Amino acid sequence: MPHPFSTLSPDSVMSAAESIGIWPAGEPFALNSYENRVLMFRDDDGARWVVKFYRPGRWSDEVIQEEHDFLQELDAADVPVIAPWRDERGQSLHEYQQFRFALYPQCSGQAPELDNPSHLFALGNTLGRLHAVSSKKPFKYRPTLAWESDIADAQARVIASKRLNKHQQRAYHGVVQKILRQLNKHPIASAQMIRTHGDCHLGNVLGRDESFTLVDFDDCMMAPAIQDIWMLLPVGDPSSWRAQLSEIMEGYEEEQSFPHEQLSLIEPLRAYRLIRYTAWLLSRWDDPAFPRGFPWLAESGYWDQHIRQLEQQSLQLEEPIWLA
C-alpha cells in the first residue's frame, strides 16, 4: 500500500498554495524533513515561503492549532519565532485533498556556533525570552512529557517490530527497564512543566551574527525548561561544557532565572530521547523516506550497538558530569 506522502507531487504542492491565494512562480524545493513534508518556493511577487504538509494521522487539528496559536503568542511578545501565515479569516491550518498544511515566511540563516561565546549568550537570551512567555499558561492539547508511559510506548514499538532476536530482546528489555527505574528517581514536578519548543537542537535555530530565530515547533510540548537547553550542550571535556553552559545561563538570566535545579534532568532526558528516537524511526519505516535516510537501522549490527549505547547511558545516569 503506497504511503500517503507518495501522492504529494510538486503539482499538488503548487495547487495547495494556489488554493489559499498564494501563487508559486516555480516548482517547490524539498527541505530536509522526515516527519512531515516541508518545501520552499518563491511566489509571483518574489517572496519566499516554506510550506509544511503534516503527516496524516499524527496530530489532531486541535493539537496543530495550539502550536500555531503558541507561535502567534510568542511572535506578538517579540520572541524570535516564525508564526504561520493566516488568511483573511485568521485561519492558519489549511486543507488540500487529503493533506493539512501551513504556510510560513522563509527564515534564512545559519546555526549558532557553540564555540562562539557571543552566540551562546544570544542563544541563552532567546531561550529565556521564550520561557518567560511560555511559562505563563499550559498547553491544553499538546503532549506532556512522562517517563513511564512514553518509555513503555517506545519499548512496545521496538519489540513489536520483530527486528531483534531473542537475545537482543532480553538485553533491550533489561536495559530499558533499568533506565526507567533510574528515571523514576528523577520525578518532574507539575510546577516544573512549561510550554517548550520540545526539539531544540542546532538544526532548529537559525540566524546571523548574534540574532537567532527558533523554528519548527512541531514537537512543542509540556516539559521542564531544561528540555530546550540540554540538546545544545555537548558531552565531552567538562571544562568545555561548563564554559558553554555558563554563557547560555548568563544570556538566559537577562530574561528570567535559570532553572539550576533542573540540571539533574539532563542525563535522564538524554536517555529518554535515545529510547524514543529509535522507536520513532521504526514506527515510520513504511514511509520510503526513512529507509533512504536511515539505512543503518536495517543493518544487522545496529541493535547490539544501540543496546550498548543504552547501557553506557545507564552508567552515565549513575554519575552525571553535569553535577560533578
Report CA torsion sign: 180, 181, 182, 188.
positive
Q: Alpha-carbon distance 99 to 19, whole Å?
A: 12
Q: Binding site annotation covers 45?
A: no
Annotated catalytic residue within 43, 115, 199, 219? 199
pLDDT at 307 over 90: yes
Q: Binding site annotation covers 165?
A: no
Q: What is the pLDDT of residues 199-247, one digit of tens each?
A: 999 999 999 888 999 999 999 999 999 999 999 987 766 677 888 999 9
Range 24-105: architecture per CATH: 2-Layer Sandwich (3.30)
Measured in degrees and rounded to the nearest 5, phi and psi for residue 251 equal -65, -40
pTM for this entry: 0.94
199 assigned to active site: yes
pLDDT at 147 over 60: yes
Q: Alpha-carbon distance 215 to 108, whole Å?
A: 10
69 assigned to active site: no
Pick 117-323's CATH classification: 3.60.20.10, 1.10.510.10, 3.40.50.10240, 3.40.30.10. 1.10.510.10
Annotated catalytic residue within 150, 216, 218, 228? 216
Domain boundaries, the chain: 24-105, 117-323
Question: DSSP assignment, residue 144?
Answer: B
Q: Alpha-carbon distance 129 to 123, whole Å?
A: 10
pLDDT at 1 over 70: no
pLDDT at 323 over 60: no
